[in-house]
Chain A
Amino acid sequence: MSLTLLNVIFAVVVAIAFAAANAAYLVWAERRGAARIQRRPGPNINGPFGLLQPPLDGIKLMAKQLIIPGGADKVLFIGAPVLAMYPAIMSFVTIPFSDSIVAHNINVGILMIFAFASTGSMSLIFAGWSSRNKYSMMSAVRAVSQSVAYEIPMLITTITVVMIAGSMDLMEIVHQQSSSILHWNIFPLLGKSHNILMPASFLIFFICTLAETNRAPFDLGEAESELVAGFHTEYGSMGFGLFFMGEYANIVIGSCMTTILFLGGWSCPFGLFPGVWWFLLKLYLLIATFIWIRWTFPRTTIYGLLNLSWKILIPLSLVNLLLTAGLIKVF
């Protein structure tokens, strides 16, 4: 029993450390990437390649004063940033990085991750509402309509993959894709799906991940030209820091899910060097794409955002679901 308890403590510590380290260093990667795309130097002074920047930023943020605006709802104001970070940490409990590197593989893993991810928008609502600020309020309303709109195609696409795999166990889903690169769910013909729309399905899922994590071009919730800083306008100090880290931790979770559901998890393309690094390679390639997209595309309008989901992504994902169901019945 003491061994299990030790395992639990070890898993919790590793999950939190992985989430926090990724969040901190993705901020660095984002700033470096932005600088490269905009042809200017990024943070490159502190340490080699500016690698000491994140911890120094953390110290700075923690040393700052936490100002709670007058008339704000104190409990929710302080609680909201905590809520922003926890879904990601909870999700790391069940994400399998390889056959052996998983804290606790539960058989409804997909459901657990989406369940906790869906609570993430509560933090935006509470932050926006409790700040007692019109910009924050507007941002919260936008964030809710956005998360409601994009959760639907995301879940429908996930149901497609679950139907193909016949299981909600993340390990099982990866194992079914592991025979060769052509069995990955993104490729239509050799895998179990036989569905030529699977690449479209992958794209829908990826776009929904972008939108669910409030990333540009869908960052209407914190559009600085319209809403100052959106829901975190009133947050300084580590409150702001937690929102920031939560955003990056959610990006990691979204990319992990894309990797597992569509890109074969840790399975290697041609039997080359099997191991956890394939998972990490795919994961960080996806994250790099996130950064690349953010600094390449301009922000959409709120109508464009909602239209894209309700008029294009939801019908497409429904068609895909029907097609997959039909093909499973036929073959």
Chain B
Amino acid sequence: MISSTPIAAPPALFSADGLVGVIFLVMIAVTIIGGFIACNSERLVRAVAGLIVCFVGVAGLYYFLNSPFVAMMQVLIYVGAVAVTISFAIMLAAPEEQKKIGVSSPLIGPFGFGTAALIAGGFSVLAVRTEWPAIAKINDGSIKKIGIQLLTDYSMVFELISIVLLIAIIGALVIARVERKN
């Protein structure tokens, strides 16, 4: 799947490479469609369903990018844990179906679209202009190698994730304190 030449002639549709390409496109479509459902549905539970579709699409992209470990972790954590927790919270909070409340935040509309377009454009430019180094495959299934890689070559990522989790915990505590004061 890793080809050193960037974009050559497109492979024939019914060759192995062609089918892989089709699956890649399907995964991208699934991700985008899931995102649309998550943002635009009126019922919260449907939005969660859309979010799950989106997560599964992203997991498919990881698998396509030769990282089955990350793909499975994506499904296990985001679909199996995060989405389940979100739907649990929705059910505890509002069992009846919730219509979307029309919040008119200044970010909705042209501003939101502009921001999104800017971010998407920036990432596209980055993705196309960067010369991507070929990274050696590390996921041979042995826990030891994954652990060593996480604590040596990819320690930056590891630390960043812990900061994100720390911020999430602090945020939860802050929200809980405010609620309790009221």
Contact = CB atoms under 8 A, between A and B. Distances in A.
Does chain A bind chain B? yes
Interface of A: 1, 4, 73, 75-76, 79, 106-109, 111-112, 114-119, 121-122, 125-126, 129-130, 132, 137, 140-141, 144-145, 147-148, 151, 162-163, 166-169, 172
Given A114-B76, A125-B84, A148-B88, A1 B143 contact: no
Contacts of B15: 1
For the complex, would chain B's binding face be called helix, strand, loop or mixed by DSSP majority?
helix
Contacts of B141: 106-109, 167-169, 172
Nearest to B76: A115
A119 B80 contact: yes
B33 interface: no
B53 to A, nearest CB: 10
Given A4-B16, A129-B91, A144-B91, A107 B46 contact: no
Nearest to B92: A141
Contact of A118 (B43, B80, B87): B80
Nearest to A128: B91
- Which of B73, B87, B140 counts the most chain A CB atoms within 10 A? B87
A112 B76 CA distance: 8
- Which of B81, B84, B91 counts the most chain A CB atoms within 10 A? B84
Interface in B108-142: 139-142
Given A112-B72, A167-B143, A76 B84 contact: no
Interface string B6-48: 0000000001100000000000000000000000000101100
Contact of A166 (B85, B139, B144): B144
B52 interface: yes
A261 to B, nearest CB: 15
B13 to A, nearest CB: 13
Contacts, number: 99
A197 B15 CA distance: 52
A111 B45 contact: no
Contacts of B52: 119, 122
Contacts of A167: 141-143
Contact of B91 (A115, A141, A151): A141
A97 B15 CA distance: 31
B64 interface: no
Contacts of B84: 118, 121-122, 125, 144, 147-148
Contacts of A141: 88, 91-92
Interface residues of B, number: 31
Nearest to B88: A144
A151 B144 CA distance: 24
28 contacts: A1-B15, A4-B16, A73-B43, A73-B97, A79-B49, A106-B68, A106-B141, A108-B68, A108-B139, A114-B76, A118-B75, A119-B52, A119-B79, A119-B80, A121-B84, A122-B52, A122-B79, A122-B84, A125-B91, A126-B49, A141-B88, A144-B87, A148-B88, A151-B80, A162-B143, A166-B142, A167-B143, A169-B141
Contacts of A168: 141, 143
Contact of A163 (B95, B139, B140, B143): B143
Interface of B: 15-16, 43, 45-46, 49, 52, 68-69, 72-73, 75-76, 79-81, 83-85, 87-88, 91-92, 95, 97, 139-144
A20 B58 CA distance: 29
A137 B91 contact: yes
Contacts of A172: 141
Contacts of B85: 148
B129 to A, nearest CB: 33
Given A108-B68, A141-B91, A115 B143 contact: no
A115 B83 contact: no
Given A75-B46, A126-B49, A118 B81 contact: yes
A116 B76 CA distance: 7
Given A73-B46, A145-B88, A111 B72 contact: yes
Nearest to A125: B87
Nearest to A75: B46
Nearest to B68: A108
B139 A140 contact: no
Given A107-B139, A166-B143, A1 B49 contact: no
A230 to B, nearest CB: 14
A151 B92 CA distance: 20
Contacts of B87: 122, 125, 129, 144
Given A1-B16, A125-B87, A172-B141, A73 B45 contact: yes
A115 B16 contact: no
Given A76-B45, A125-B84, A118 B139 contact: no
Given A1-B15, A75-B46, A122-B83, A115 B140 contact: no
